[in-house]
Amino acid sequence: MRPSLRILAAWTIVSAFFAPIAVHAHESSLGALELREVRHGAYVARWTIEPTIGAARVDLRMPPHCFFRLPELDCGEKGLVGALTIGNLGSRMSAALIKIIPMEGEARSYTITTANPTVSILGPGAPSLQSWIELGATYLNYGVDHILLGADHLLFVFGLIWIVGVGRRLIGTITAFTIGHSASLAAAAFGLVGVPERPLNACIALSIVFVGVEIVKKRRGEAGLTARYPSAVAGAFGLVHGVGFASALAGLGIESRLLPAALAFFNLGVEIGQLAFVLLTLSLLWAHRRLGAVLTGWGGLVPAYAIGSVAMFWFIGRLLRVLELD
């Protein structure tokens, strides 16, 4: 077994411990709060999408001058401006959309995420630059969070690295995967394509099973489809994974005028997170070579069977959710 592959075996074993967390991957736990102005500075608040954590338990903090008790929000003459925070975002509630509908003028939307738990509510005359900065920070961080918490997507990338190895082929393969998921992410976000979320997640898990089988073929000295055409395989499966990324944005109800910018920042965040994962894996490979660690012969089979087993576990769990048997 080549030294460059041994550290990948340990890396895969560690990832197996996190298998249960991705059975329900990318079914976003979010809430949507509508604030409708009924008179100057006074709003009626209601959750249009009930957060999984329970509306009564959401630690929603309005600006200090506002009085808030569902369904009443009164901010007086100053109006609804200032910092709005959700203090208990986490695994049970990853994001919330705050939609403000004034008596006059256009509705405004703000997205709160685990990476950006606080947003500034801006008045009608607020400078647009600040709005764009906050929009960029929110969706950039949301994209990074989404890919780094998406164990299935990362395991697929990890499998590609295992099969292709280090070098120019890896650059081409990762680039093809990026192009594929970026294209389908944009198409899904703009409503050009649509796939039900649960069957899609099952397909994503099945794509990882495919990669696991390809690794076994490589260990046997056979040239699998991925080994022969890595960029084509990565690009094709990237289309599937991209629609999965889009599901993170679909439920947020982003205003159409903000969607292109939100999509661009979110996709950039996804790419940053993916690149960080690839660099981390390559750094571990380099460190392993420097250490010259030795692994027994059977250890080469561990990554393939670990990837396949974990992915099949996810696939069965997600398929049961599709069939509503769990």
Instruction: Tell me, yes or no, whether 257 lies in a domain.
Output: yes
Q: What confidence score (pLDDT) does residue 14 get?
A: 46
Separation CA 113–CA 116 (nearest Å) = 5
Q: What confidence score (pLDDT) does residue 296 get?
A: 58
254: Cβ contacts below 8 Å, ≥ 6 apart = 97, 109, 111, 262
**Any idea of the CA torsion for 149, 151, 152, 155, to the nearest 10 degrees?**
130
Quote the domain boundaries for residue 81: 30-127
Instruction: Tell me, yes or no, whether 136 lies in a domain.
Output: no
Model confidence pLDDT, tens digit, residues 97-147: 888 888 887 777 777 777 677 777 766 555 455 567 767 777 787 788 778
Q: Are residues 169 and 305 in the same domain?
A: yes
Q: Are residues 169 and 298 in the same domain?
A: yes
Cis amide prior to 71 (ω within 30 degrees): yes
Q: Please give the average pLDDT of every successive group of 10 residues along the chain, which has 326 residues.
A: 50 48 52 86 85 74 87 87 79 75 80 75 58 73 79 87 84 91 86 79 87 83 84 90 77 69 86 91 80 62 77 85 69
Q: Which of 21, 45, 43, 42 is nearest to 32 (CA)?
A: 45
Separation CA 135–CA 304 (nearest Å) = 41
Instruction: Tell me, yes or no, whether 181 lies in a domain.
Output: yes
**Any idea of the CA torsion for 278, 281, 284, 288, to the nearest 10 degrees?**
-120
Separation CA 22–CA 42 (nearest Å) = 42
Q: What confidence score (pLDDT) does residue 19 get?
A: 46
Number of structural domains the chain divides into: 2
